[in-house]
A and B are shown apart, each in its own frame.
Chain A
Amino acid sequence: MRQWSDFTSTPDGAGGQTVSLSGPLLVSSIGRIDRGLRGIDGPVSAIDLSQVSAIDTAGAWIAWRTAHLHGAKIVGASAEARRLIAAVGAEGKDVEVEPERLPTVQRVFDSIGDYVVGAGHGVIAFLGFVGAMLIGIGSLIRHPGRFRIKALVRQMELVGVSALGIIGLMSFLVGIVIAQQGAVQLKQFGAEIYTINLTGRLSFRELGVLMTAIMVAGRSGSAFAAQIGTMKLTEEVDAMRTIGVSPVEALVIPRVLACTFMMILLGFYASLCAILGGATISTLTLEIPFFTFLTRIQEVVPLHDLWVGLIKAPVFGAIVALAGCYQGMQVQGNSEEVGLRTTIAVVQAIFAVIVLDAFFAVFFSEVGWG
Chain B
Amino acid sequence: MSNPDFPIVVENVCNAFGEHVIHEDLSLKVERGEILGVVGGSGTGKSVLMRSIIGLQVPEAGRIEVLGDEITAARDDDDIDIRSRWGVLFQGGALFSTLTVSENVEVPLKEFYPELGDDLRGEIARFKVKLSGLPPEAAAKYPSELSGGMRKRAGLARALALDPELLFLDEPTAGLDPIGAAAFDQLILELQETLGLTVFLITHDLDTLYEICDRVAVLADKRVIAVDTIPNLLKLDHPWIQEYFNGPRGRAAQAAQNRARAAHKAALAKAMDKRANTGD
Contact = CB atoms under 8 A, between A and B. Distances in A.
A94 B134 CA distance: 12
Interface residues of B, number: 31
Contact of B116 (A31, A88, A92, A333): A31
Nearest to A84: B194
A31 B113 CA distance: 8
Interface string B128-141: 10110000100110
B126 A95 contact: yes
A3 to B, nearest CB: 13
Contacts of B160: 57
A17 B44 CA distance: 61
Interface in B148-207: 160, 162-163, 194-196
Interface string B102-118: 00000001001101110
A99 interface: yes
Interface stretch (A22-30, A176-184, A207-215, A302-310): A22-30
A193 interface: no
A97 B139 CA distance: 10
Nearest to A97: B136
Contacts of B163: 26-27, 56-58
Given A26-B163, A87-B194, A34 B116 contact: yes
B142 A334 contact: yes
A61 B142 contact: no
B112 A28 contact: yes
Nearest to B195: A57
Nearest to A83: B194
A333 B127 contact: no
A62 B136 contact: no
Interface in A329-356: 332-336
A366 interface: no
B147 to A, nearest CB: 14
B52 interface: no
Contact of A92 (B119, B127, B140): B127
B79 interface: no
Contacts of A150: none
Nearest to A38: B119
B136 A95 contact: yes
Interface in A36-59: 38, 56-58
A299 interface: no
B127 A95 contact: yes
Which of A58, A65, A91, A332 has the most CB atoms of chain B within a 10 A radius of its CB? A58
A28 B111 CA distance: 11
Nearest to B196: A80
A88 B195 CA distance: 11
Given A61-B127, A87-B194, A27 B98 contact: no
Contacts of A35: 117
Contact of B144 (A34, A94, A333): A333
A32 interface: yes
B60 interface: no
B120 interface: yes
Nearest to A336: B98
Nearest to B190: A87
Contact of B117 (A34, A98, A99, A333): A34
B131 A333 contact: no
Contacts of A80: 196
Contacts of A32: 115
Nearest to A89: B127
Which of A32, A57, A92, A334 has the most CB atoms of chain B within a 10 A radius of its CB? A57
Nearest to A92: B127
Contact of B131 (A56, A62, A87): A87
B141 to A, nearest CB: 9
B143 interface: yes
B103 to A, nearest CB: 11
Contacts of B12: none
Contact of B142 (A34, A96, A97, A333): A333
A92 B130 CA distance: 8
A27 B130 contact: no
A28 B140 contact: no
Interface string A58-83: 10011001000000000000001001
A335 B122 CA distance: 25
Which of A27, A98, A99, A333 has the most CB atoms of chain B within a 10 A radius of its CB? A27
A61 B125 CA distance: 11
Contact of B123 (A65, A84, A87): A65
Contacts of A98: 122
B194 A62 contact: no
Nearest to B116: A31
Interface of A: 26-28, 30-32, 34-35, 38, 56-58, 61-62, 65, 80, 83-84, 87-88, 91-92, 94-99, 332-336
Given A95-B126, A335-B98, 10 more contacts: A32-B115, A56-B163, A56-B195, A57-B163, A80-B196, A83-B194, A84-B195, A98-B122, A334-B98, A334-B142
29 contacts: A26-B163, A27-B109, A27-B113, A27-B124, A28-B113, A31-B113, A31-B116, A32-B115, A56-B195, A57-B127, A57-B128, A57-B131, A57-B160, A57-B163, A57-B195, A61-B123, A61-B127, A62-B120, A83-B194, A87-B194, A91-B127, A91-B131, A94-B130, A95-B126, A97-B136, A99-B140, A333-B144, A334-B142, A335-B98
